[in-house]
Amino acid sequence: MSVEPFLDPASPRMRFGAEMRRLREEARLSQAAVAARLGCTQTQVSRLEAATRTPSRSDAERLDRFYGLEGATSFTRLYHRILAKPGSPAWFMSWTEEIEPNALVLQSWDPLLVPGLLQTEAYARHVLKHSVRITPEELEERVRMRMRRGQIFDRDASPLFTALIDEGVLHREVGDAEVMREQLDHLLEMAQRPAISVQIVDPKCLAGMSGAFMIAELPNGQPDTIHADSSVEGQVTDDYESVVSVRNQYEALRRSAYPERMSLKMVEEARRTWT
């Protein structure tokens, strides 16, 4: 079940929705008509106008093209203000606030690190403290946010989560041996939950060399959505061709993944090496 956040009437997210509604009504268009021209559903338009859905970059760009907006009045500008939350990369906020908490199924690939949803606080802190120009306050906020993300697995109807992890992650030191032991213990513990599956991928597999990604299957007929990392910023999109491309990568990786029982034995063996 989706939990709607408190919405400040003056917030950029509320302004985005109000501006959508104002321009639509001025043009004497129905929500269905706007949805048809934007290539989405009427429900998505309704949720954007009500500020119960965080707009994506593609939402903002399509609205700007549709209404011929630019500069200070543009939806793209409002989109960046919506996501400019201290302590979090802007591109990631639509994923953590709108997509991940409402997903029915999550699938991830991580070639370098334990996936964020399964990280311990100590492991996450060592990873995040190396972010460029991060302040101590921003570091603590990002750690808190990462820990909150994992709380989706404490709900009665938690998403089904399959994590594909490169074998090298088990042997890549983050922090020190104690941090690694705690992290691998946590990984083993979380993998015992019925909704969580962890599989280790043979390091010879090259299908995922382009970087980490996640796939979310959403309820109520909403399109599958992905987020994919890059060296500059991540991308969150439900663009059909992008989703298909990432799904194909995921299937190639899964073919090179060890069975779950064998994978967990590999985690146990790696844990014993961190002494």
| pLDDT tens digit sequence for 215-245 | 999 888 888 989 887 655 567 788 889 899 9
Digit-coded pLDDT (tens) for 65-85? 999 887 655 888 787 766 654
CB 41 within 8 A of CB 30: no
25: buried, middle or exposed (CB in 10 Å: 19+, 13-18, 0-12)? Answer: exposed
* Residue 256, token pair as written in the block: 């090179």
What confidence tens digit (pLDDT) does each residue in 13-45 have? 788 899 999 999 999 999 999 999 888 889 989
| Average pLDDT value for the chain | 86
What pLDDT score does 156 carry? Answer: 86
Domains by residue range for the chain, with CATH:
12-83 (1.10.260.40), 90-273 (3.30.870)
Q: Which pair of structure tokens corresponds to residue 208?
A: 């995922």
β-bridge partners, 225: 216
pTM, two decimals, is: 0.69
Q: What is the pLDDT of residue 10?
A: 52
Q: Is 211 left (phi over 0), alpha (psi -120 to 50) or beta?
A: left
- Reported as a single tens digit per residue, the pLDDT across 140-180 is 988 988 998 999 999 888 999 999 999 999 999 999 999 99
